[in-house]
Structure 1
């Protein structure tokens, strides 16, 4: 091609060629050619408190995946998905310390002692927790155990169940027209010796998310209604959020206990209370069962 004599035309031509190369380059590359921006290595004698997310391996952070593939030992919980565990290389030491209601659980003190022992042996340790390690996951107790033993620790956040459940159901957790506040509550406070302050929770301008509350649904519905929320106030239950076996129920504070009795859900199950739940009826992310249930409630 003959040289372009006009400097302005030459400048335009060069810019056009650069843009063309950028536009066409993805077509010439394969996914296997893409290099993820991973950096760093697990440090010997350090413990990493890592969030495994909601179970979907594609929702795992890049940093979490890298640490899993580099660590000498992984100490993991019951709610960590099988696909996430599959990222751990052969030869990596694995220690299961899961907790489940009604089953034998490893005492928290023993979990802390195990991490301290492994780090003391000069191993890099990943403490793998479902969801986000800082949300109802006893991270504080484990940080204290490590600090008392002068073991360095680092925290890697994960996608918590509330975010995963809302995304899978196609609704926001906050919304200018529905909820200007968001509150995470552990349903363990629904024990007889730890009743929540229902009056402070019964607000129409916020979204409530109860963790670990499947066996407390009746108490939650009753407490919120007694504190002033209307019987028809929306509530949603989502079990195994983001996983293939995800199940959900949508209803009201008045009818949810009866719905759950007729359609039992497995644990883990998240409870979302608030007017944002109304959006389930219009979102394409909701299942047919969810849409019919929500439409029946609001028509």
Structure 2
């Protein structure tokens, strides 16, 4: 593989959710810059690469973005294949677009490789279909963590009529609840709070908008976690689980 930077999504945590293209990029990598939330089990696909941890997690000490930029540029200019390995999908709250633009402005070849995002994987593992005929015709992904503390248009989100998936919202449950209620969302709107999406120790807490803050506290909800807010969060997971089993049996057969 010629020298370039691959911005690769490692998926939500389950190493079996890694894409084939991500596996190929890792196999051919000389250097891997790995984010904090990536499951290190996926590194079995790059046994000969130099692995450098460049952790970034909200509320914790993080590697400066400028330093990550310099590392990518340094190694690719040495003729190496660099994989920037990110949790979830690089272009969903992963700075993939920013990093790609920064590198391309300096003449570096870049390729983006999608990963399964935590909001999708976590919901599915809990038997929640983010869109469901007759209940939800769309889904909106937002992050509660903003660089400049700018506020989201919660009224528009409350009245949008789509399933709302909130990333990085554990520390802002009170603000999310109050903002959506003020925006006109019903306090009885179902909410699913999903911790460690797709991992064997994934946990979920089903609640309502009114009760979610107190129930999250009793549940001892911790990051990383996502919130699924909408009518689909109350749907029985029995039917979806049966569908997943049917697909698995068809694949095996």
- TM above 0.5: yes
Deviation at 1:101, TM superposition (A): 3.4
Distance (whole Å) between structure 1 residues aligned to residue 97 and residue 160 of structure 2: 31
Task: Detail structure 1 runs of 4+ shifted over 6 Å in the superposition.
Answer: none
Which residue pairs with 1:249 in the alignment? 205
Maintained 8 Å contact 2:34/2:55: yes
Which residue, out of 99, 102, 111, partners 2:56?
A: 99
Flag the 1:115–1:103 CA change in 2: closer, same or farther, 3 A. same
Which residue, out of 154, 157, 163, partners 1:207?
A: 163
Distance (whole Å) between structure 1 residues aligned to residue 145 and residue 59 of structure 2: 15
Say whether residues 1:73 and 2:31 are aligned partners. yes
SS at match of 2:100: helix
Q: Cα RMSD over matched residues?
A: 1.8
Deviation at 1:87, TM superposition (A): 2.4
Say whether residues 1:109 and 2:66 are aligned partners. yes
Which residue, out of 170, 181, 188, partners 1:225?
A: 181
Which residue, out of 217, 221, 227, partners 1:261?
A: 217
State which structure, 1 or 2, has the greater radius of gyration over its C-alpha atoms.
1
5+ residue gaps, structure 2: 242-253
Maintained 8 Å contact 1:179/1:204: no
Say whether residues 1:133 and 2:51 are aligned partners. no
Which residue pairs with 1:198 in the alignment? 154
Deviation at 1:182, TM superposition (A): 1.0
Count the aligned residue pairs: 242
Which residue, out of 92, 112, 135, partners 1:178?
A: 135
Distance (whole Å) between structure 1 residues aligned to residue 174 and residue 113 of structure 2: 35
Flag the 1:202–1:102 CA change in 2: closer, same or farther, 3 A. closer
Maintained 8 Å contact 1:73/1:94: yes
Flag the 1:202–1:148 CA change in 2: closer, same or farther, 3 A. same
5+ residue gaps, structure 1: 1-41, 286-299
Q: TM-score, normalised by structure 2?
A: 0.90
Flag the 1:193–1:129 CA change in 2: closer, same or farther, 3 A. closer
Deviation at 1:192, TM superposition (A): 8.8
Distance (whole Å) between structure 1 residues aligned to residue 97 and residue 24 of structure 2: 24
